[in-house]
Structure 1
Amino acid sequence: MWLVVFLVWVLLWVGGSYWYLFGKRSPFSLESVRPPAPREFDQRKRDKVIKQGFSVDRVPQDLDVIVIGSGIGGLTAGATLAKAGKKVLVLEQHDQAGGCCHTYIEKGFEFDVGLHYIGQVHENSLLRIAFDQISEGQLEFQELEQHFDTIQIGEGQELREYTIFSGKTAMKAHLMKQFPDDKEAIETFFKIMKVCAKKTHYLATLKLIPQWVSLLLLKSGLADLVSPVFKLSGTCATDLVNTLTSNRDLHVIFSYLFYGVPPKDSSILINALLVHHYKRGAYYIKGGASEIPFHIIRTIQKYGGNCLVRAPVTQILVNDENTAYGVKVRKGQEEFEIRAPVIVSNCGIFTTFQKLLPREISIQKEMQERLNMMRHGRGSFLVFSGFDGTQEELGLVSTNFWLFKNNDMDKSMEDFFALSKEEAPDNIPMMFITMPSAKDPESKIRHPGKSCMTILTMVKYEWFEEWKDTAVRKRGDEYYNYKMRFAQNLFDWACKLFPKIKDKLVFQDVATPLTNCHYLGAQRGAMYSAEHNLDRFHSEAVARNRCNTPVKNLYISGQDVFSCGIAGALHGGLLCASTVLDHIVYIDLLLLKKKLKRRKAKELAQLERKKIQ
Structure 2
Amino acid sequence: MAQVRTGRRYRTKRADSHYDAIVIGSGMGGLTNAALLSLLGKKVCVLEQHYTAGGFTHAYERNGYEWDVGVHYIGEVHKPSTLGRIFDVISQGRLKWAEMDPVYDKIILGDEEFDFVAGRDNFIEELCKHFPDDRQVIQDYIELIRKMSRLTPKFFMGQAMPRGLGNFYNRFLRRLLLPKEFFQTTRVVLEGLTNNQKLISVLTGQWGDHGQVPEDASFVMHALIAKHYLAGGAYPVGGASEIARTIIPTIQQGGGEVFTYAEVDELLVENNQCVGVKMVNGDEIRADQVISNVGFMNTVERILPAAQRQQYNVNKEAEKLQRSSASLCIYAGFKGTAEELGLNSTNLWIYPDGDHEGNMKRFLDDPDAAAPLIYVSFPSIKDPDWDNRFPGKSTVEIVTLSNIDWFKAWDGTTWQQRGEDYEQYKQQQGERLMEVLFQRMPQLRDAIDYYEVSTPLSTQFYQLNKEGEIYGLDHFVERFGQSCLHPQTKLKNFYMTGSDVMTAGVGGALMGGLFTTMSMHGLRGSKIVKQLLKDYKIPEA
State the Cα deviation string for residues 470-512 of structure 1 (Å, max 9, x = none). 1101111111111222221111111111111111111111111
- What residue is the counterpart of 1:167 in the other structure? 119
1:119 to 1:579, Cα distance in 2 relative to 1, 3 A: same
* Aligned partner letter, 2:48: E
Question: Is 2:413 the partner of 1:470?
Answer: yes
User: Per the alignment, in what secondary structure is the counterpart of residue 506 of structure 1?
Assistant: strand
In structure 1, the gaps of 5 or more residues are 1-40, 597-613
1:251 aligns with 2:191: no
Q: 1:192 aligns with which of 137, 144, 153?
A: 144
How big is the shift at 1:525? 1.1
Match of 1:266 in 2: 217
Whether 1:129 and 2:78 are equivalent positions in the alignment is no
The structure with more radius of gyration: 1
Q: How does 1:515-594 map to 2 (within 5 A)?
A: 515-537=458-480, 540-541=481-482, 545-582=485-522, 587=527
Aligned counterparts of 1:316 and 1:552: Cα–Cα separation in 2: 12
Where structure 2 has 5 or more consecutive residues not aligned to the other structure, the ranges are 537-541
Q: Helix, strand or coil: the match of 1:509? A: strand
Aligned sequence identity (%): 34
Residue 241 of structure 1: which of 187, 190, 196 is its match?
A: 190
Show CA shifts across 1:7-66 (max 9, x none): xxxxxxxxxxxxxxxxxxxxxxxxxxxxxxxxxx342xx65xx14211123213531111
Structure 1 pair 493–482 and aligned structure 2 pair: CA distance change class (3 A): same
Q: Specify the SS of the correspondent of 2:261.
A: coil
Q: For 1:533 and 1:497, locate their aligned partners in 2 and report how far apart those are by CA, in whole Å.
A: 34
Of 351, 361, 369, the residue aligned with 1:404 is 351
Q: Deviations over 1:402-459 (max 9, x none)?
A: 000010111111221122xxxx145312110001001111100100001000111111
Map of 1:172-251 to 2, 5 A cutoff? 172-209=124-161, 213=165, 223-228=174-179, 231-251=180-200
> In structure 2, how many angstroms separate the alpha carbons of the residues matched to 1:513 and 1:567?
23
Could you tell me which of 250, 257, 260 is aligned with 1:306? 257
Match of 1:83 in 2: 39
Compared CA separation, residues 131 and 573, structure 1 to 2 (3 A): same
CA separation of 1:505/1:574 partners in 2, compared to 1, >3 Å: closer, same or farther? same
Aligned amino acid, residue 389 of structure 2: R
| Residue 210 of structure 1: how far off its partner (Å) | 5.1
What residue is the counterpart of 1:105 in the other structure? 61
Quote how far apart the aligned CAs of 1:254 are: 2.1
SS at match of 1:560: helix
| Letter of the 1:263 counterpart | P
Q: Report how far residue 368 of structure 1 moved.
A: 3.1
Query: Does 453-462 or 202-211 show the bigger shift?
Result: 202-211
Post-superposition Cα deviations, 1:121-154, rounded to whole Å, max 9, x if no partner, equal: 1343100110011000001010111111111101
Structure 1 counterpart SS, 2:152: helix
Q: Partners of 1:583 and 1:128 in 2: how far apart?
A: 26
C-alpha distance in structure 2 between counterparts of 1:200 and 1:490, whole Å: 37
Aligned amino acid, residue 279 of structure 2: V
Take 1:450 and 1:335, find their aligned partners in 2: how far apart are those partners? 45
Which SS does the other structure have where 1:283 is aligned?
A: strand
Seen in structure 2, the aligned counterparts of structure 1 residues 386 and 460 have a Cα distance that, compared at 3 Å, is same
The corresponding residue for 1:609 is none
1:326 to 276, 292, 299: 276
Query: In proportion to residue count, which structure has more helix?
Result: 1
Contact 1:382–1:454, Cα closer than 8 Å, also in 2: yes
Q: For the residues of structure 2 that align with 1:170 and 1:587, how far apart are their CA atoms?
A: 37
CA distance change for structure 1 residues 298 and 595 in 2, over 3 Å: closer, same or farther? Answer: closer
Q: Is the 8 A contact 1:254 1:271 kept in 2?
A: no
Do the aligned residues in 1 keep the contact of 2:75 with 2:232 (CA within 8 Å)?
yes
1:186 CA drift (Å):
1.2
Counterpart Cα distance in 1 of 2:507 and 2:425:
34
Q: CA deviation at 1:204?
A: 1.4
Counterpart pick for 1:380 among 327, 330, 334:
327
In structure 2, C-alpha distance between the alignment counterparts of 1:586 and 1:182, rounded to whole Å: 42
AA aligned opposite 2:256: G
Contact 1:211 1:544 in 2 (8 A): no
CA contact (8 A) 2:22 2:46 kept: yes
Number of positions where the alignment pairs a residue of Structure 1 with one of Structure 2:
535
Give distance in 1, aligned partners of 2:163 and 2:19: 29
- Residue in 1 that maps onto 2:426: 483
Flag the 1:594–1:170 CA change in 2: closer, same or farther, 3 A: farther
Pick closer, same or farther for the CA change 1:534–1:216 going to 2, 3 Å: closer
One-letter amino acid of the structure 2 residue matched with residue 410 of structure 1: E
Contact 2:330 2:454 in 1 (8 A): yes
Deviation at 1:339, TM superposition (A): 1.2
Tell me how far 1:563 sits from its aligned partner.
0.2
> How large is the Cα RMSD of the aligned pairs?
2.1
Q: Which residue of 1 aligns with 2:539?
A: none
- Report the equivalent of 1:65: 21
Q: Does 1:351 align with 2:298?
A: yes
TM-superposed deviation, 1:544 = 5.7
**Aligned counterpart in structure 2 of residue 418 of structure 1, from 365, 370, 390:** 365
Q: Residue type matched to 2:293 in 1?
A: N
